[in-house]
Copies of this chain bind each other. A is one copy, B any other.
Amino acid sequence: MRLSQYPLTTLKEVPADAEVISHQLMLRTGMIRRLAAGLYTWLPFGLKTLRKVERIVREEMDRSGALEVVMPTVQPGELWKESGRWSEYGPELLRFKDRHEREFTYGPTHEEVITDIARRELHSYKQLPVNFYQIQLKFRDEIRPRFGVMRAREFIMKDAYSFHISEASLNDGYRTMSEAYVRIFTRLGLKFRAVQADGGSIGGSSSQEFHVLAESGEDAIVFSDADDYAANLEMAVTLPVLAPKGGTTQSLSKVATPNARSIADICTQLSIKPAACIKTLLVDAADGGVIALVVRGDHELNAVKAQKLPGVARPLRMSSPQRIRESLALETGFIGPIGLKIPLYADHAAAHLTDFVCGANEKDAHYIGANWGRDLPEPTSVDMRNVIVGDPSPSGQGTLQIARGIEVGHIFKLGQKYSASLKAVVQDEHSKSATLWMGCYGIGITRVVAAAIEQNHDANGICWPEALAPFTLVLVPLGYQKSAQVRQAAERLYAEFIGMGIDVLLDDRDVRPGVKFADSELLGIPHRIVIGDRGLDVGTLEYRHRRATTSIDLALSEAVAFICDKAQSAKA
């Protein structure tokens, strides 16, 4: 492409309403433009990158044996009523009626539609396993869309759905997809981690998230520094403490702690560390009562883990002052486990404490020197807190580290959730009717583009991984309009690179060199060749990689081979 013939321009100013760097850079480079809240047009520079993501995803899905289809974006409400999600799904599900007053949705996902296809088309185990995928638009009516295409309302997903005769076959298919995802994100040139995740509202027994690592990521990713254990914060496991308990040296005594309502207050008043206290959280029980959850003062309760504990109401709810009053005859504040007549769980670390500090269940008072087994019963010790950096890895190897990530992929074992509710059955090898087993596998195609920028940028703009760059190479002629020598060299190189299949941008605009350099860095084009009279006089060009800080001289005669070589090795 010749930049002189491209009508859109880059922006110098950071757009006021763009909070995150990827959104800012996508607007500044003219990759996208906002139409309305959460609705974006992809302009040519953005679309070129988007198509590169799509192509790599498509190639690896095809290679895995999946079959590409395209399902409608508009889905009948009836199907969602069959699965039960018409009422379960929140206002993110855009519901509307057609001219005949029939109910439809602009689908945020396609489990119902593909299961409907499966129950009509699949009749025998001989047709299995099968994996259908599509690269298709979806809509989620976010209450507050933001961060540009990172959390847009209309977006492109690659979603795949596999069908199996047995759980064993589903496990195989799930593994195949996990491997395909590793190939995809590797080929995209992104630093990423596959982490264990909770199934969430979509249901199912097992799931894995793929995160692009970036400091700005919304999610905390936990990983071992010694092996490939990785999980999101919701799922990362804490182990029972193996070290022997400390000695019981103090006796229990009640002390005054006026107005000490936070761990920080108590630590200040008593000159102790948070790790020497416990927090006693009261949550609703499923039977209408209250359950106590005890974690160490420096730890945080993990709601996903806690709501899986026997007896705890789902979703997790902190008990109201009224319920606490009715169940325990206590006021909130200064709550502690001693003397509480309700079920109690202690986190492994809290259960390992000795001589600890806790609320005394009366205003402005705490106990010091409390000990499990002496002052109160030994607790049921469970995993229900967020891990922290330095916790031992549950894999048994190394300690846990935490990084920030942006979720771009997610694979699930759905089991028989949808096939049971939609009655998708086939004949098995014994001619008996068998409910299908199902997996689903998503990649946020539009989101990958933003995540790649969050991971790859500097103060001057985007630093594209080679596989995602809208252009591999930019040619910057200095004095294109004035110097015949420069113009001829630029045109010859431009034609040669096109002939070699290199995605090349020729900046033939009549603007200052500084503007050309700034734009090439903003756009993040990996390779740049500057063509000037001074160099041409001695047969050289100036080459710089986007991530390099200095340029190198390049013989004019070797330029094409040099770049082709770089592009080739980036592909391999």
A interface residue numbers (CB < 8 A to B):
5-8, 33, 35-36, 39-44, 47, 50, 65, 67-76, 91-92, 94, 96-99, 102, 104, 106, 113, 116-117, 120-122, 127-128, 130, 137, 139, 141, 143, 153-154
A116–B39 CA distance with the chains assembled, in angstroms = 14
Question: Which of B42, B94, B137 has a CB less than 8 Å from the CB of A137?
Answer: B137
Given A8-B121, A33-B121, A74-B153, A69 contacting B40 (CB threshold 8 A): no
Contact at A72–B7, with CB atoms within 8 Å?
A: no
Contact at A74–B117, with CB atoms within 8 Å?
A: no
Question: Which of B6, B41, B137, B154 has a CB less than 8 Å from the CB of A117?
Answer: B41
CB distance from A137 to the nearest CB of B (A): 6
Q: What are some 23 contacts across the A-B interface (CB < 8 A)?
A: A7-B67, A7-B122, A7-B128, A33-B117, A35-B72, A35-B116, A36-B75, A36-B76, A39-B74, A39-B75, A40-B72, A41-B69, A41-B72, A41-B113, A41-B117, A44-B68, A47-B70, A73-B154, A74-B139, A74-B153, A94-B96, A98-B141, A99-B143
4 A-B pairs closest in CB distance? A96-B96, A7-B127, A39-B72, A42-B70
CB distance from A248 to the nearest CB of B (A): 57
Contact at A33–B120, with CB atoms within 8 Å?
A: yes
Minimal Cβ-Cβ distance residue in B for A97: B96
B residues in contact with A153, CB < 8 Å? 74, 98
A36–B143 CA distance with the chains assembled, in angstroms = 29
Apart from A73-B137, A74-B139: 5 A-B pairs, beta carbons within 8 A:
A7-B127, A35-B113, A74-B106, A92-B99, A98-B141
CB distance from A242 to the nearest CB of B (A): 50
A44–B94 CA distance with the chains assembled, in angstroms = 28
A8–B117 CA distance with the chains assembled, in angstroms = 11
Contact at A43–B72, with CB atoms within 8 Å?
A: no
B residues in contact with A47, CB < 8 Å? 68-70
Copies of the protein in its oligomer: 2
Contact at A74–B44, with CB atoms within 8 Å?
A: no
Question: Which of B42, B75, B139 has a CB less than 8 Å from the CB of A69?
Answer: B42
CB distance from A536 to the nearest CB of B (A): 29
Minimal Cβ-Cβ distance residue in B for A91: B99
Minimal Cβ-Cβ distance residue in B for A70: B42
Contact at B137–A99, with CB atoms within 8 Å?
A: no
Contact at A41–B154, with CB atoms within 8 Å?
A: no
Residue among A35, A92, A113, A122 with the highest chain B CB neighbour number at 10 A: A35
Minimal Cβ-Cβ distance residue in B for A90: B99
Residue among A68, A72, A130 with the highest chain B CB neighbour number at 10 A: A72
B residues in contact with A97, CB < 8 Å? 96
Minimal Cβ-Cβ distance residue in B for A104: B36
CB distance from A374 to the nearest CB of B (A): 55
CB distance from A508 to the nearest CB of B (A): 14
CB distance from A96 to the nearest CB of B (A): 4
B residues in contact with A71, CB < 8 Å? 35, 41
Minimal Cβ-Cβ distance residue in B for A75: B35
A35–B112 CA distance with the chains assembled, in angstroms = 11
B residues in contact with A69, CB < 8 Å? 41-44, 47
B residues in contact with A127, CB < 8 Å? 7-8
B residues in contact with A116, CB < 8 Å? 35
CB distance from A169 to the nearest CB of B (A): 13
B residues in contact with A39, CB < 8 Å? 72, 74-76
B residues in contact with A40, CB < 8 Å? 72
CB distance from A195 to the nearest CB of B (A): 31
A71–B36 CA distance with the chains assembled, in angstroms = 11
Contact at A35–B76, with CB atoms within 8 Å?
A: yes
B residues in contact with A33, CB < 8 Å? 117, 120-121
A69–B69 CA distance with the chains assembled, in angstroms = 23
CB distance from A335 to the nearest CB of B (A): 38
B residues in contact with A8, CB < 8 Å? 121, 127
Residue among A65, A69, A139, A153 with the highest chain B CB neighbour number at 10 A: A69
CB distance from A226 to the nearest CB of B (A): 41
Given A42-B70, A69-B41, A7 contacting B91 (CB threshold 8 A): no
CB distance from A142 to the nearest CB of B (A): 9
A8–B124 CA distance with the chains assembled, in angstroms = 11
B residues in contact with A120, CB < 8 Å? 33
Contact at B67–A44, with CB atoms within 8 Å?
A: yes
A137–B139 CA distance with the chains assembled, in angstroms = 13
A76–B143 CA distance with the chains assembled, in angstroms = 16
Minimal Cβ-Cβ distance residue in B for A65: B5
Minimal Cβ-Cβ distance residue in B for A155: B72
Minimal Cβ-Cβ distance residue in B for A141: B99
B residues in contact with A74, CB < 8 Å? 36, 39, 106, 139, 153-154
B residues in contact with A73, CB < 8 Å? 73, 137, 154
B residues in contact with A92, CB < 8 Å? 99
B residues in contact with A98, CB < 8 Å? 94, 141, 153
B residues in contact with A113, CB < 8 Å? 35, 41
A42–B71 CA distance with the chains assembled, in angstroms = 6
B residues in contact with A94, CB < 8 Å? 96, 98-99
A172–B297 CA distance with the chains assembled, in angstroms = 75
B residues in contact with A36, CB < 8 Å? 72, 74-76, 102, 104
